[in-house]
A and B are shown apart, each in its own frame.
Chain A
């Protein structure tokens, strides 16, 4: 989904590329509490990097350290090659869009946007030009003389964005940028934000707890838990190749089958799972000690459901439909296996008169050998 040019170029795969923002072993303690724990991160020019995690995972603290509002307990931060670790916010080439927008209530939209430029003693005529350009870019040209309390939530969000972009920062930090908007507006604004980022070429670091937002916006996502980055990668890497149970579970929904390795070959593995009541065949090798407990994660949309038994013995199970949720574009089925395990299956409603699978019906579930992801922790 990410449309920025940088995402296509994938500089993080190029070992020669120089990171634009480098976070080196950053730790931040608040008393006894480790908010950020030994995080290292490389962000490249023109990226939209999303820090994704539940509340309290340390993502906002990490963002605030990039902005200079918190000083790291240990570790260093480099932006464009310069050490920024102890530099106060007013001397950093970084701007932040606050979650609450933090618009100055006693100033008009125009004055809010011009504030940072005035602070830099930029000539009046240039300020006028740049503010005008920026306001028309966020489609607020007609609202220049209004005060923040006379604007809607979406308009305020755009003022905050304009105010943080007008100084042409090397790095723009966005704290839950779309959090206060309603769903329709949020989707619309996501694409606007990507377009704007593409046009201006500013590097974005976005903090969000909304995985859908992260998937849409990001060139890469860093999933955070307990102050650590547990996995960083493109949205599809994170979704299709989660490295741990936590990531698989956090991004989207997933069916997790606990089991033991019974065959461990370089090209394939076979897992015996009591929970599933059968075996799981995965068409790629994994690195795990023999007899180890592993988890096979299967996404609900990758499970096929039928009333007739499928061929083969692997990746097949049987259960009873316990619940159905009709969402319009797709339906969610909760299937109860003989072992008691509930499996979640989604099916797109491609036809308007699909042969209905009803409550309490017995169904067979199966999936491709390429579908499961095996995680060891």
Chain B
């Protein structure tokens, strides 16, 4: 024990100056992401939190300061909870929240139904084909989301590609209204978020020992029974991880409902936008943002624990 301490003291003396103050190379490496998070997440979050507790003002910026000097030696902090109270009194916000969650849930479900077979197919493809298929999944990321959503407008509109083809084939006689409907919005969301589901799902399925399926068949399972009893339970964590990656951002989705969905597609992201830019009601908008974040925290924590379990390998 003593020789150990001695050695430690010796090495301290030998270390460069920085390390004497407890700054090690390892510490620096860990520090960087924390600094990043502090600068670009914690600080903005605190600012938004601060704004959410202030009053609206006709000024620039359009809210009153939270902390004020009153008189000579008194500092007053005025916390205004009205913004939050307002959210729960006006049905608009509650409905927007509920609708967002509904849209996100349905989109997640659709991503599972579409993405699971795709991820399964990629995981079971020959290794050479597999890389190509993965590339095709990632490929859309090379174009801006906005462009891709606009492309969908071109596909879905009344005299768009889909309607024209169906008309030319004489399947329909007049164009179907698809654009600016919930259908178009779901198409857009599922399309945009599908890769976020497929990639973790693939990562999970890729680790699967396919011999287990043979073992199940050997013990009397038909292929679909083997899938239900072996593949599905073993890929549960992949489904959860992928779902969270779709659900969490989909709740706050703004662009896709705005561009593809109709005027009735009232989602919280859009409300937030309107409050900020149309109404310049920054405090209420901030309150909306904070509540949205609080709503999503449990899901994020759940996702974290699923991720931890997945990496630990315990099933």
Contacts and interface: CB of A to CB of B under 8 A. Distances in A.
Contacts of B217: 69, 88-90
Contacts of A95: 218-219
Nearest to A99: B211
Q: Chain B interface secondary structure, helix, strand, loop or mixed?
A: helix
Contacts, number: 56
Contact of A100 (B209, B216, B221, B233): B209
B67 interface: no
Contact of A116 (B220, B230, B234, B315): B220
Interface in B205-242: 209, 211-212, 214-222, 225, 229-230, 233-234
Contact of B225 (A106, A119, A164): A119
Interface in A104-155: 104-106, 115-116, 119-120, 149
Contacts of B216: 104, 115
Contacts of B212: 102, 104-105
A90 B221 contact: yes
A167 interface: yes
Contacts of A96: 214-215, 218
B217 to A, nearest CB: 4
Contacts of B233: 106
A90 B230 contact: no
A98 interface: yes
Interface residues of B, number: 19
Contacts of B314: 149
Place the interface of chain A in its size category: 20 to 34
B214 A119 contact: no
Nearest to A169: B218
A67 interface: yes
B123 to A, nearest CB: 17
Contact of B215 (A104, A106, A120, A167): A104
A299 interface: no
A248 B76 CA distance: 99
Name the residue among A69, A104, A115 with the largest chain B CB count within 10 angstroms.
A104
Interface in B186-218: 209, 211-212, 214-218
Nearest to B313: A149
A336 interface: no
Given A104-B230, A106-B233, A167 B219 contact: yes
Contact of B214 (A89, A94, A103, A106): A89
A94 B217 CA distance: 11
Contact of B315 (A100, A105, A163): A105
Contact of A90 (B211, B218, B229): B218
Contacts of A163: 219
A88 B214 CA distance: 11
Contact of B219 (A100, A106, A116): A116
A89 B218 contact: yes
Nearest to A105: B315
Interface in A17-49: none
Contacts of A116: 219-220
Given A88-B217, A105-B212, A115-B216, 19 more contacts: A67-B218, A69-B214, A69-B218, A90-B218, A90-B220, A90-B221, A95-B218, A95-B219, A96-B215, A98-B211, A100-B211, A102-B212, A102-B214, A104-B216, A105-B234, A106-B315, A115-B229, A116-B219, A167-B219
Listed from nearest, the 6 A-B pairs whose CB atoms lie closest are A116-B219, A119-B220, A102-B215, A102-B211, A89-B217, A96-B218
